Amino acid sequence: MPLNRYIFLLLTLCCLPSLAAEHTVHRCENSAGHVTFTTLSCGPEENLSLQRIHPYSPGTIAPTGESLLPEAEHRQTPGNKTRRRAPTVVGQLEDPCGNLLSTGQRRDAIMDRRIVAGMNQQDVESALGKPDSIKIRNSSTRYTYKAKNGRSAEVVFDEKGCVKGKS
C-alpha cells in the first residue's frame, strides 16, 4: 500500500503547474558597445538597464500583452556600426594561358566545338576529341584533325600548351 501512495503523490506533483518567479537581470553596456547580462552590478563606466525575465515552462501560454523577451533597442552604438570593405579574394584559379577566357566562355566554346585562343590542350580535346595526329616541333605542338567530309583542321599550341591560333 505505501508504494501506491508514493505513485499518487508523484503524479499529483507532476500535474501541478510550476510557479515561476519573475527575475531581474542587469544589462551592462560599455563605451565600446559590448553588452553583458549579469545578476551582479555593472562596472563603474558601464550603462545599466534592468531587464525583466519571465521563465515560462514549455507548453504554457504567456499572459496576454506581455512578451517573453524585452523589446530590442534600435540605436547606433560604436560596436554595431556598419563598415563596408572590398571583398578579399582568397583563392583564384591561375590559368597558364593567361586567364584569357572566363569559365563561361570556355564552356560555350567547347559546347559549340569552337577553338579559341586561350584554350589548353584538354579543352581542345574536350571540344574536338582525340587528334588524328600529333606533331611536336621545337617548343610547339600541333594537333591535326581529319574530318569525315574531307576537310581537316590543325590547332597549334605554344610551349605552355595554350592555343596559338587555328589554321
Closest CA to 100 of 75, 125, 77, 117: 117
**Residue carrying the nine cell digits 583563392:** 91
With beta carbons less than 8 A apart as the criterion, state whether 17 and 60 touch.
yes
Cα distance from N-terminal residue to C-terminal residue, the chain:
104
Q: Where in the chain is the domain with CATH 3.30.1450.10?
A: 103-166
Whether the pLDDT of residue 143 is over 80: the answer is yes
Q: pLDDT tens digit string along 60-90?
A: 666 555 555 666 666 666 666 666 777 777 7
Give percent above pLDDT 90 in the chain. Answer: 2
According to CATH, the topology of domain 103-166 is: Beta-lactamase Inhibitory Protein; Chain:B, domain 1 (3.30.1450)
Confidence at residue 20, expressed as pLDDT on a 0 to 100 scale: 45
* Cell 505513485 -> residue: 7
CB of 68 closer than 8 Å to CB of 62: yes
How many Å apart are CA 29 and CA 59, to the nearest integer?
Answer: 33
Record the pTM.
0.43
- pLDDT, tens only, 97-137: 877 888 889 899 999 888 888 888 889 999 888 898 899 88
Question: What is the reported pLDDT for 50?
Answer: 84
